Structure 1
Amino acid sequence: MTSPEKMLPVGIIGGTGLTTLSGLQISGERQVRTSWGVPSAPLVEGRLGDQRVIFLARHGNPHRIPPHQVNYRANLRALYDAGVRTVIGVNAVGGIHPDMGPAHVVIPDQIIDYTWGRDSTYFEGELESVTHIDFTWPYDESARQILIDAAGAENIPFSGFGVYGATQGPRLETAAEIIRMERDGCDLVGMTGMPEAALAAELGMRYVCLGLVVNRAAGKSDHIITMEEIEEAIDQGMSGVKRILEVSMAGLGVLTPLSRSS
């Protein structure tokens, strides 16, 4: 059996509501620079249970970087260079599916990209050849099942499916846009799912999304969306997200790295 000291670290990218991770026994913090620039925040290294973890606040700490200005390429590359090969992206999302209301946890299996103008690939510039990656299944199924099992074991209300619609932000969507997304098959909507998932795939990393619904999407309730509503849902649901992370670490830590790399 691989000793905890030799296990590869698991990366956790925290979004809105998860700027820091309670329960993480911190052993160090370091600011790094990559060939794609500086990531959103220092890499926080430590342990969650027996598993080595590297935590990165997607929007910075304090929370200050809007979704369309996150340096996703630097974030993923920094984690990769630190030895991470499995990444959990924690996302605050809006619920489109009727069963995905506030404080509900979602572990999606598909994504549709509605973003534009973001630096969305490592394969550009003076290349020796054009590179295409297979992105049929954007979320690693082995990692998804570990999160699903953890949510079930902890009796946390969750959905083990869902199509994540990634929008540009930073504004929330119109009711008409949500109707279009629902026609497209989206079950939830967020602003940071892409290009994060695709960049992880380009690097050959296992990537999985752990979503917390913080509001019903535009037009899906009888009132406008308020920050008070979002903050209340985060307060109610983030404890479940953290329990899933804690319970799933042992399984995620022993996943073998994928063969593709960059």
Structure 2
Amino acid sequence: MVRIGIIGGSGIYDPSMFDHIEEKKLNTPFGQPSDSFIIGSMNGVDAVFLSRHGRGHRYSPTDLNYRANIFGMKMLGVTHIVSVSAVGSLKESLKPLDIVVPDQVYDRTARRASTFFEGGIVAHIGMADPFCPALNKILFETASEKYPAHKGGTYLCMEGPQFSTRAESGIYRKLGFDIIGMTAMPEAKLAREAEICFSILATITDYDVWYEDPVSIGQVIETAAKNEEAVKGILRRAVGRIADADCPCRHALEGAIATSPDAIPEKVRRDLGLLIDPYIK
């Protein structure tokens, strides 16, 4: 059964998007998620929403408990995650209010816990293609029906919470990156470890600082608000097109756990049972 997880800003959540709403607080082996999960259905499809930064935007990109957020989605039976992300553009052809569905990511973060596998267990998963190709295709085709949308491209994930310097922005452009944001990593890594299909629906709020005077957070929020209706429309139409296919994302841990089962500490085995039980005898 398909259950869609949506991670985004609080503006993306609109009670009218969901039927049969229930709010659920979870405690995970990795602590508390950013907020309660909103559970319901969207166009007849089971859906779960999480406000990434918490209601009132309480957590910075660095301070987010990404592990609790993704593990909580897994606990709720989520099979696919659409991560809605406001980004800056590093190319003139990618304009504010455009939609991008990236197919690559470059990780410049340094201060975030980015794996579930620690404390006595090691797993090496493949990340060559960090986003689910099947889910990417659905999101791009749905977005392009009504909005300026771009297929593929590289998302540069910076640490934040500060924006780029002009020197950094110029280097990112020379390296060929397309968009820049602060939350793609480690969301994508953790979703892959949790065997959840994961894609980003990126909404461009501004050109990065290479282009013009430094953007303010007020401008970013104003443009992001304009994008909200587009994003909600895309999500409403896309959820019904997502099938419970036998995607490689759903088998990412197969052959990836390097630790001998008898060497895994009992607490780690219990905490990660939701992920590792199918592979540990």
Q: What are the ranges of 5 or more consecutive residues in structure 1 without an aligned counterpart?
A: 1-6
**Secondary structure of 1:47 counterpart:** strand
1:185 and 2:179 matched: no
* CA deviation string 1:141-174 (max 9, x = no partner): 0000001111122x21111111000000111111
CA contact (8 A) 1:17 1:92 kept: no
Query: 1:241 maps to what in 2?
Result: 231
Q: Structure 1 residues 173 and 22 mapped into 2: Cα distance closer, same or farther (>3 Å)? A: farther
Q: Structure 1 residues 225 and 237 mapped into 2: Cα distance closer, same or farther (>3 Å)? A: same
CA contact (8 A) 2:100 2:151 kept: yes
Structure 1 letter corresponding to 2:54: G
Q: CA deviation at 1:100?
A: 1.6
Q: Distance in 1 between matches of 2:20 and 2:87?
A: 28
Query: 2:135 maps to what in 1?
Result: 143
Q: Structure 1 residues 227 and 120 mapped into 2: Cα distance closer, same or farther (>3 Å)? A: same
Q: CA deviation at 1:21?
A: 6.0
**Secondary structure of 2:40 counterpart:** strand
CA contact (8 A) 2:61 2:161 kept: yes
Q: What are the ranges of 5 or more consecutive residues in structure 2 without an aligned counterpart?
A: 254-274, 276-281
Q: CA deviation at 1:125?
A: 1.2
Q: Distance in 2 between matches of 1:135 and 1:8?
A: 23
Q: Distance in 2 between matches of 1:120 and 1:251?
A: 30
Q: CA deviation at 1:19?
A: 5.3
Q: Among 99, 102, 127, which residue is 2:96 paired with?
A: 102
Q: Structure 1 residues 174 and 65 mapped into 2: Cα distance closer, same or farther (>3 Å)? A: same
Q: Among 155, 163, 167, which residue is 1:176 paired with?
A: 167
**Secondary structure of 2:50 counterpart:** strand
Q: Distance in 1 between matches of 2:61 and 2:124?
A: 25
TM-score normalized with structure 1 length: 0.91
Q: Among 86, 90, 104, which residue is 1:92 paired with?
A: 86
Q: Distance in 2 between matches of 1:32 and 1:235?
A: 28
1:164 and 2:155 matched: yes
Calculate percent identity across the aligned residue pairs: 31
Query: 2:218 maps to what in 1?
Result: 228
Query: 2:105 maps to what in 1?
Result: 111
CA contact (8 A) 1:40 1:75 kept: yes
TM-score normalized with structure 2 length: 0.85
Q: CA deviation at 1:25?
A: 2.3
Query: 1:4 maps to what in 2?
Result: none
**Secondary structure of 1:92 counterpart:** strand
**Secondary structure of 1:94 counterpart:** strand
* CA deviation string 1:202-230 (max 9, x = no partner): 11110000001111101212x22123321
Q: CA deviation at 1:260?
A: 3.5
Query: 2:68 maps to what in 1?
Result: 74
Q: Distance in 2 between matches of 1:70 and 1:178?
A: 24
1:214 and 2:205 matched: yes
Please identify, of 44-53 and 233-242, the stretch whose mean Cα deviation from structure 2 is larger: 233-242
Q: Structure 1 residues 26 and 190 mapped into 2: Cα distance closer, same or farther (>3 Å)? A: farther
Q: Distance in 1 between matches of 2:100 and 2:15?
A: 19
* CA deviation string 1:180-214 (max 9, x = no partner): 11222210000001000001011111000000111
Q: Distance in 2 between matches of 1:19 and 1:227?
A: 20
Query: 2:259 maps to what in 1?
Result: none
Structure 1 letter corresponding to 2:228: M
* CA deviation string 1:44-79 (max 9, x = no partner): 001111111000111001211100000000000000
Structure 2 letter corresponding to 1:195: P
